[in-house]
Structure 1
Amino acid sequence: MTFFHLNQTLYAVAIAWNANMDLNAVEQLKNVLSSMSFEKDQIIYEEGEPTGDGYILSIGKVRLFKKAGDGKLTEKQTVNSMQVFGVWNSILGNNVRLFTARALEKSSVLIIPKATLNKKLSTLDPFLRLLFRQALTNNESFE
């Protein structure tokens, strides 16, 4: 398998995991994670803020935006129910958020504390962490 194909495979795995989170796992997480609700058009976090908690969107729809050179926000990705967002910066080792997240409709999230993300990442095999970082670096729409 070439390096290119390995990156494609990792990218596909990350998308599949992100898009098809097991509903049973989400139900279990509801028992241990805090939740928060957002109204339509409410900002969840802004580009340039220090990285923080990650989120699992339990209900609703969220859009990720990036500032263009002219300062206007450009749409990058839509997050749907049962998808994870706001965690990829931790994997990449960034200190600030690369996107702005805004609720497109009334939405509810489960909060993955930053400390939990950091703990999980610290136990991740260094080789896998490197592969994820390389795959995600090649696709700027992840956060």
Structure 2
Amino acid sequence: MSHSSHGHPCRRPLCARASASPWRPARTPARTPVRGMSVGRCGAPLLAGHRTPGDVHRLAQQMAEVLVGRRAPEVLRNQVTVPVREELRRLRGTVGCAMAPRLARVFHQPLGASGVEASAVIDCDRRSRVFAFRLRREGGRWVCTRLETDRGH
């Protein structure tokens, strides 16, 4: 029996429903958050909306400016831990970008009650670069506690 002439061979209920309309996108927590639930079926937290909070996005932009060499890491001293500031000093100017960096995308995922993990894509000239960071809430502001980039150490 072929898929094209006799329909989908699987008789499982989930497959039968999916094969009824094969052109519909798959339901994922990122596309279709369950209303009234903060945890998915498998126990993993769902994304808290699609829009990254403005202050997280702003901090990502400022860190991108440090990575391309257009901002000093010391300016972020109240928003990053000492190890992250030292890492930013080491990485300052390592991302080659002839123009000011523009964040193409910033993704985030909550980490418990007071933390966020985020990643950002920087569009620089004809190339894209990426970095990831963790934040925790301290007295009404986000503080970056960890930074990783796509550059080898």
Q: TM-score, normalised by structure 2?
A: 0.21
Larger radius of gyration: 2
Q: TM-score, normalised by structure 1?
A: 0.22
